Structure 1
Amino acid sequence: MLLSLLYSLAACNAPPPAKAPAVAVKVIAVQAQDLRLHRDFAGQVSRSEETRLRSRVGGVLVGKYVHTAKG
């Protein structure tokens, strides 16, 4: 324990490590422009698993009520 205390005190007196020099980077100016965000691709989709959904209560669903906030 005394040895670890001596190591920690010796580390406090050590000079801070030298900082690395700044690295040069390329800078470009960007311009706003419209982009086409819609693309069409041909393909097929298939399920990886099949799951059966069952209700836990009996009865018939007569309606579905959704309350939305107007904004």
Structure 2
Amino acid sequence: MTTAQQRTDLGRQEQLREYNYEHFRTKHFLADVQQTIKGGGVQPGQEAPDFELEATEGGRVRLSGLRGRPVVLHFGSVT
């Protein structure tokens, strides 16, 4: 591993330490799930709200730009 790679790795570790992880508890997750259930979310056949994200290959992608194509939305986190 080069010195530059080591510095980059240390930078990532520092970012993870600064992330507010120690304040996140299961009760927060459960509260979010309960709120989602109460809200009902988007129902089958109902149009999803439009949003825009960065594309992995660069640029931006907008949900409305995919209209008429099958779309699977998968959000996750390793933290």
The normalised TM-score by structure 2 is 0.23
Flag the structure with higher helix content.
2
Which structure carries more relative contact order (alpha carbon 8 Å, separation 6+)? 2
Larger CA Rg, structure 1 vs 2: 1
The normalised TM-score by structure 1 is 0.25
